[in-house]
Structure 1
Amino acid sequence: MSGLADVYARQFESCTIRSEHAAEVQGEVDRMRMHRQRYAEVAGQFPGMPWWVPAVLHSMECGLDFHQHLHNGDPLSARTVQVPKGRPLKGKPPFTWEESAVDALVCDGLDQVRDWSAGAALVAFENYNGTGYRRRGVPSPYLWSYTDLYRCGKYTADGHYDPQAVSRQSGCAALMRLLLEP
């Protein structure tokens, strides 16, 4: 495991979901579990990928809407227009959620990840979203929102960081905290 994955693993083990967001996170996780088989079919195309990887990304990028591209939440009725633009490269719209999800995972190199431990997964999710927070030395809301490790600071648009903005969605770690419970 890389040094950053070790740091994230320790942070993940110690973080807690903020009580004011616990019910919301649980509801999101319950919705993810309802579609576990669908996520497992996508993840099953990549050696060792757990079902919860596409599920977490689906929550983060699409609010669990199966009519949107996993890449960025654009509608499946056309190729993506936001970054990454023009995806999927193959096929014709409208795309199925599954074919777009497979393309998104390959496009961002998640098909090459073999270590899906908590710390390594958080590094992969951060790379998927972007490392701008890491460069600022700020906990990424993409990872830590709704946990005790995040308070404020958010990119409100590509390249525009607002230190006072607060994320209004659960971060990957909060979702994983419940998803990885026995």
Structure 2
Amino acid sequence: MPTLSAALRAEYQQLFDTCQINPDVASVVNKQASQIMGSEARYRGVADPIGVPWYVVGVIHAMEAGLDFKCHLHNGDPLTRRTVNVPAGRPKTGQPPFSWEDSANDALAFDRYPQWTDWSIPGILFKWESYNGWGYRTYHPEVKSPYLWASTNQYKCGKYVKDGLWSPTAVSKQIGAAALLRRLAEKGAVDAASHTTQPKLADAIAGPGAALRYNPKVVAPGGIALQHFLNQFPGVFLREDGKLGDLTSAAYKQVFGHYLLGDPRAA
């Protein structure tokens, strides 16, 4: 099994940074991303207690259950009984019908999400690819995993049409997890700390009390650290006063692709 090496981390980040959603599915991706954002509170109910970003659970829900809250998060089987498909027999405790929350808690624990702590973009993509399997990297490295990259410019064709059966011409029709994550990032739903693997910045802007929202009138926790980070990019010249106003938000958009949450220009 691969490990999240520096080289693999750089590959994930480069693929995500240059990822473009295919125009023919852009409306579908946007609709699914909006649905995920609309269910943020429900995802937070299972994600926050174990330290997982809510949008990670949302994308899993899209990939495994088509965003249907009547289905197990594990694999999309109905909540009216234990799972039949892999992983079968989940949850092992309790009696059906299961609540979506009970099933989701079991699915996340089963896949060891509470033990995973790297929620950078590369860390998220590695966790998802690990869940789906390393068959593409091991046997068909010329094809980027469609579980991640389908519906983007990073994937064209080639897929396993069933377990162990490879087709070089088959094309995945599912929206890839990275495509959804990219659209969520473009819509401002993904935490800024997840866009960078620089620990000092991530710690500063994701620490207790951090509130990276547009507000030119008050000093935001983590605001000075964010401005210092943005000033490292060409053409960015910010006063490091911690006030996240128009100039900081514009620089933030230059680096991360969208304005700060709350910026009127993001509407």
Q: Same fold (TM over 0.5)?
A: yes
Return the alpha-carbon distance in structure 1 between the equivalents of residues 78 and 71 of structure 2: 4
**2:25 matches 1:21:** yes
- Aligned-pair distance for 1:145? 0.6
Alignment match, 2:44:
40
The code of the aligned residue for 1:76 comes to L
- Aligned-pair distance for 1:110? 1.5
Return the alpha-carbon distance in structure 2 between the equivalents of residues 147 and 9 of structure 1: 15
- Aligned-pair distance for 1:5? 2.6
Q: What's the TM-score, normalizing by structure 1?
A: 0.95
- Aligned-pair distance for 1:12? 0.5
Higher RCO, Cα 8 Å, sep 6+: 1
Alignment match, 2:13:
9
Alignment match, 2:162:
157
* Preserved CA contact (<8 Å) 1:156 1:162: yes
**2:64 matches 1:61:** yes
The structure 1 segments of at least 4 consecutive aligned residues displaced by more than 3 Å after TM superposition are: none
Return the alpha-carbon distance in structure 2 between the equivalents of residues 104 and 129 of structure 1: 14
**2:87 matches 1:84:** yes
Within 5 A, what are the aligned runs for 1:92-103? Answer: 92-103=95-106
SS at match of 1:88: coil
Return the alpha-carbon distance in structure 2 between the equivalents of residues 158 and 81 of structure 1: 16
Within 5 A, what are the aligned runs for 1:81-160? Answer: 81-135=84-138, 136-137=140-141, 138-160=143-165
1:14-58 CA deviation, whole Å, 9 max, x = no partner? 1111111111100110111111110111111212x1110110000
The code of the aligned residue for 1:82 comes to N
Return the alpha-carbon distance in structure 2 between the equivalents of residues 21 and 10 of structure 1: 22
Q: Flag structure 1 segments of 5+ consecutive residues without an equivalent.
A: none
SS at match of 1:74: coil
1:106-150 CA deviation, whole Å, 9 max, x = no partner? 111122111111111011011112221121212111000111000
SS at match of 2:34: helix
Q: Flag structure 2 segments of 5+ consecutive residues without an equivalent.
A: 189-267
**2:69 matches 1:50:** no
Return the alpha-carbon distance in structure 2 between the equivalents of residues 52 and 2 of structure 1: 24
Q: What's the TM-score, normalizing by structure 2?
A: 0.65
The code of the aligned residue for 2:10 comes to D
SS at match of 1:161: strand
The code of the aligned residue for 2:45 comes to E
Q: How many residues align?
A: 181
1:152-173 CA deviation, whole Å, 9 max, x = no partner? 1122222222221111121011
Percent identical across equivalent pairs? 49
